[in-house]
Structure 1
């Protein structure tokens, strides 16, 4: 997520400065994210599990009654003996295993200069020069680590991704580097499938038909098998929102290798989504245009010729998830000074494929001085309570915030690992928040220093 020369990522500018009283403002229908409600309403603050209690160990502050276990830290030995736990812990998902076990798959967003690279393993390495990849942890029902090993190696800048309906993880490379760049021996910018139980069953095969671009996240339509993809392009022209039509939809592990068609979204009359500011704005007749060259052999996809009517762009397209009968995707922020049509502090859009309708359902923004709230929350996931958990990734203190179904915002966790100095403290962002299949444990990563936590407590209180 963090990249030199730009704000340490991306999703909505949505955060707060203290352990309580989060400086967050929402406009729109939060219930839309859970139940498809369309009525707009302002959302409140408060609620939650109480104030955060400083951790005497200096790792993770939580509300009273909650506790954490450190599952893994960068630099420690992998139990598989393959090497060290890699750095830059990022996107993550939890999968149910036999006998109450949980399989975690964790991205490592290492670039060519990654601190602790993902060890290369025979049969699991795409490009030996790539430092990124995924690791897989198997936990018992008490969150004891039974195994930790490499799941894929030799990839680059593995940022986010998403789970499939058949129980695998799609890890996304957020780069367009070609062979010969940064020492790479192969082209990068692909999606790879990872089996959380036995990674050798999926290997290290790029799903080339799904496009080569700066991938962020994916979501799969469980009815049709269509895969939606976001692009987090760093410079104008900004990224596109894609859909992939597999030749073998919902075919199970390995089926995406059979190929398909990659298309980009065109909203008639809307070349830049940031220009839309009105909550509830709807656009019918959304079009999907075939990508001329999904491999971007000569020209990045977002720069390719989509015809005289053009294509729809958006700055900081990030999170992407399926809910109900629609796909939701996030634009973290837009800044006119960087080339967007207008400024905003974050949007969530809903696309209904049955109606071919795009709707702006949520807008985020600080309700205090713009310099005070934290910036660019990261991964979003549904919580057992029915609300959201949102990872903060910006300047100052870093939090995981909860958002109730009523729109109340509360702090759930605060990182206390100071990676700066006593005079100028700094804290690593959170990423990869996800819950165990039974809803009793929240798993979350600290990006730097790479740390994976299991948080338990009275979630259903």
Structure 2
């Protein structure tokens, strides 16, 4: 980290603790410190937390699906391979990013991604008027729920896309689903170029159709967050191999114009942190960089060269491995680097970072560091999907090795296990558990919805939420 381009804004560092110290087992109720960082920064503009420290130890599920604290219960809403209630085919696999929207009469509408590649055994069914590329296996489905989480309907919302990983909601209550691929037409059997963002109206999918938002760039998209005042869209790029992904912003020609406005085009830019070519080198929580620059992307459609390989001038551009979760809070956008490993080309190692960018001040701050020196068999490494909880804290989906958890983070800096997956996709001798994804809350905060990626399962979790 260059001393000329960074400074500590406040003394926010805390002693690093291993996950073995903070979560000694799957039944751990709460941990004092699981990461180092300025926790208060994460919750700017959210509801006030109520001082709780978790919900108690996880209780083993006799049905072997989902361990939860005492007093909580789950309902399986949807499982891969079951018939879609629309009659369009089977429920697709690889459940990933998701958001919950308010419907009429107290109903809730879930829009869910399916991160299917060309080899997927349970693709999103092709539906006329909702299919981009018939050879694409990914897409989204929508579940319609009543006020008691009974499933009233389930149907295809978009099909023919590829590797739909995460995305994000818009201020006008549509879902932006992101393709995490750069495959071109003629590659892997595809008939059209992939690597785009698509807008999905869960209430009326035919209103948005299957139209790529090409001006927002063609790259390995992960997640988005939108500034509700300016309409600027921030985008993460999940690139596993070097050169790693970039953090982008899209300046729409027609900001906050409602459904279809993003089709009016705009300008794509990538973030440059002066003097920092790789964010993994920053290891101190509270490290702050002023004068963040935004550089026009030379070729957003990546017609010849993937964007992260393109020439951004003599000053270069700032990369980071595994840029994933992204959300808006208060007056800032937060984004996650899930991990960085020097053995894979990163400049330094970590097991997860959360960054905060303040547009008005053009300032970037590292607010959370996960690890390194931690036990990968316990919760707290490789954060992926992330959302604000009803109590003002966070819920984070773990995507690492060993046991897989959804864990909560209070405003006071305490981490606690909220759920543990129990569906063994390995063997009794070498167990393996599918990652969690798509954590989101009902509009009234009374239900947490979350997906198990494999086997594709969508859960509704209710109980004594604070």
Shorter-chain TM-score category? Answer: over 0.9
Structure 2: runs of 5 or more not aligned: 1-17, 47-51
Q: Counterpart of 2:165 in 1: which secondary structure? A: strand
Q: Note closer, same or farther for the CA distance 1:166–1:430 as it changes in structure 2 (3 Å cut).
A: same
Give the structure 2 partner of residue 265 of structure 1.
Answer: 271
Aligned: 1:20 with 2:24: no
Contact 2:379–2:398 (8 Å) recurs in 1: no
1:61-460 equivalence runs, <5 A: 61-365=67-371, 368-369=374-375, 375-460=381-466
Distance 1:424 1:274 in 2: 32
Q: What CA deviation, in whole Å up to 9, does each residue of 1:74-113 have, x standing for no partner? A: 0000000000000000000000111101010000000000
Report how far residue 396 of structure 1 moved.
1.7
Q: What CA deviation, in whole Å up to 9, does each residue of 1:20-57 have, x standing for no partner? A: 167863111111110279xxxxxxxx931111111111
Q: Point out the more displaced range, 416-425 or 18-27.
A: 18-27
Aligned: 1:35 with 2:35: no
Q: What CA deviation, in whole Å up to 9, does each residue of 1:254-307 have, x standing for no partner? A: 000010000001111111111111221111111111111000000000111111
> May I ask how many residue pairs the two structures share in their alignment?
441
Contact 2:379–2:407 (8 Å) recurs in 1: no
Contact 1:25–1:367 (8 Å) recurs in 2: no
Q: Counterpart of 2:319 in 1: which secondary structure? A: coil
Distance 1:148 1:138 in 2: 6
Q: Point out the more displaced range, 375-384 or 240-249.
A: 375-384
Distance 1:400 1:260 in 2: 36
Q: Point out the more displaced range, 335-344 or 209-218.
A: 335-344
Distance 2:208 2:377 in 1: 45
User: How large is the Cα RMSD of the aligned pairs?
Assistant: 1.9
Give the structure 2 partner of residue 59 of structure 1.
Answer: 65
Report how far residue 375 of structure 1 moved.
3.9
Q: TM-score, normalised by structure 2?
A: 0.91
Distance 1:347 1:292 in 2: 28
Q: Note closer, same or farther for the CA distance 1:372–1:168 as it changes in structure 2 (3 Å cut).
A: closer
Distance 2:151 2:45 in 1: 38
Report how far residue 18 of structure 1 moved.
2.3
Report how far residue 325 of structure 1 moved.
0.6
Q: What CA deviation, in whole Å up to 9, does each residue of 1:125-158 have, x standing for no partner? A: 0000000000001101111111100000000000
Report how far residue 376 of structure 1 moved.
1.8
Distance 1:327 1:369 in 2: 29
Contact 2:30–2:414 (8 Å) recurs in 1: no
Contact 1:25–1:366 (8 Å) recurs in 2: no
Distance 2:378 2:414 in 1: 19
Q: Note closer, same or farther for the CA distance 1:366–1:414 as it changes in structure 2 (3 Å cut).
A: farther
Q: TM-score, normalised by structure 1?
A: 0.92
